[in-house]
Structure 1
Amino acid sequence: MSETQIRFGILGCAEIARKVSRAITLAPNATLYAIGSRSLEKATKFASSNNFPETAKIYGSYDAVLDDPDVDAVYIPLPTSLHIKWAVAAAEKKKHILLEKPVALNVGEFDKILEVCEKNGVQLMDSTMWMHNPRTKKMKEFLSDSDKFGDLKSMNAVFTFAADPDFLENDIRVKPDLDALGALGDAGWYCIRAILWAADFQLPKYVTALPGTVFNKAGVIIACGASLHWEDGKVATFHCSFLANLTMTITACGTKGSLHLHDYVIPFEEKQASFSTATESGFTELVTGWVPLPSQHTVMTDVPQEACMVTEFSRLVKSIKNDGSVAEKMWPTLSRKTQFVLDAVKVSTEKGGEAVSLS
Structure 2
Amino acid sequence: MIETRIRFGIIGCANIARKVSRAILLSPNTTISAIGSRSLEKATAFASENGFPETAKVYGNYDAVLDDPDVDAVYVPLPTSLHLRWAVVAAQKKKHVLLEKPVAINVGELDRILEACESSGVQFMDATMWMHHPRTEKMKEVLSDQQRFGQLNSLHSTCSYVGEGDFLKNNIRVNSNLDSLGALGDMGWYSIRAILWALDYQLPKTVTAIRDAELNESGVILSCGASLNYEGKVVTFYCSFLSNLSTDLIALGTKGNLRVHDFVVPFTETVGHYYVVSNSKWVKLGLDPEPSEFKITTELPQEALMVQEFARLVERIHSGDAKPEKKWPMLSRKTQVVIDAIVASINDGYEPFEVVN
TM-score using structure 1 length: 0.98
Residue 315 (1) aligns with residue 312 (2): yes
Equivalent position SS for 2:43: helix
CA distance in 2, matches of 1:303, 1:212: 41
Deviations along 1:170-221, one digit per CA (max 9) or x if unpaired, are 1100000000000000000001001111111000000000022101122111
Mapped to 1, the partners of 2:111 and 2:307 lie a distance apart of: 23
Q: Corresponding residue for 1:229?
A: 229
Rounded Cα–Cα distance in structure 2 between residues aligned with 1:217 and 1:277: 43
Please report the TM-score for the alignment, with normalisation by the length of structure 2: 0.98
Alpha-carbon separation, structure 2, partners of 1:214 and 1:107:
23
Q: Does 1:107 align with 2:107?
A: yes
Q: Does 1:327 align with 2:285?
A: no
Query: Match for 2:228: what amino acid?
Result: L
Aligned equivalent of 1:171: 171
| Matched residue, 1:281 | 280
C-alpha displacement at 1:273, in angstroms? 0.9
| Alignment deviations for residues 1-53 of structure 1 (CA, whole Å, 9 cap, x no partner) | 81100000000101100000000000000001100011111111110111001
Task: Kindly report which structure 2 residues correspond to 1:1-359, keeping only aligned pairs within 5 A, or say none.
Answer: 2-230=2-230, 232-284=231-283, 286=284, 288-359=285-356
Deviation at 1:280, TM superposition (A): 1.3
3-state SS, counterpart of residue 223 of structure 1:
strand
> What do the CA deviations read for 1:250-284 (whole angstroms, capped 9, x no partner)?
00111211100111111110010100001111112
Partner of 1:71, secondary structure, is: coil
Counterpart of 2:245 in 1: which secondary structure? strand
Shift of 1:165: 3.0
Structure 2, unaligned runs of 5 or more: none
Please report how far the alpha carbon of residue 290 of structure 1 lies from its aligned counterpart in structure 2 after TM superposition: 1.1
CA distance in 1, matches of 2:153, 2:84: 36
Distance 2:219 2:204 in 1: 27
Deviation of 1:351 (Å): 1.4
**Aligned alpha-carbon RMSD (Å):** 1.0
SS at match of 2:112: helix
Distance of 1:128 and 1:224 partners within structure 2: 20
Match of 2:267, as an amino acid?
F
SS of the aligned residue for 2:19 comes to: helix
- Alignment partner of 1:244: what SS? coil
Q: Distance in 2 between matches of 1:89 and 1:255?
A: 49
AA aligned opposite 2:268: E
How many pairs align?
356
In structure 2, give the amino acid aligned to 1:257: G
2:305 match: secondary structure = helix
Runs of 4+ in 1 over 6 A off after TM superposition: none
Q: Which runs of 5+ in 1 are unaligned?
A: none
Matched to 1:197, the amino acid is W
The separation in 2 between residues aligned to 1:262 and 1:238, in whole angstroms, is: 14
- Partners in 1 of 2:52 and 2:94 — Cα distance? 24
CA deviation profile, 1:66-95 (whole Å, cap 9, x unmatched) = 001120000000000000000000000010
**Partner SS, residue 290 of structure 2:** coil
> Which secondary structure does the structure 2 equivalent of 1:103 belong to?
coil
Letter of the structure 1 residue corresponding to residue 115 of structure 2: E
- The residue type equivalent to 2:286 in the other structure is G
Give me the whole-angstrom Cα distance separating, in 1, the residues matched to 2:77 and 2:157: 24
Following the alignment from structure 1 to structure 2, what is the Cα–Cα distance between the partners of residues 168 and 247?
Answer: 18
Looking at structure 2, the residues matched to 324 and 292 of structure 1 have their Cα atoms a distance apart, in angstroms, of 49
Q: How far apart, in 2, do the equivalents of 1:194 and 1:54 lie? A: 39
**How many Å apart are 1:291 and its aligned residue?**
1.4
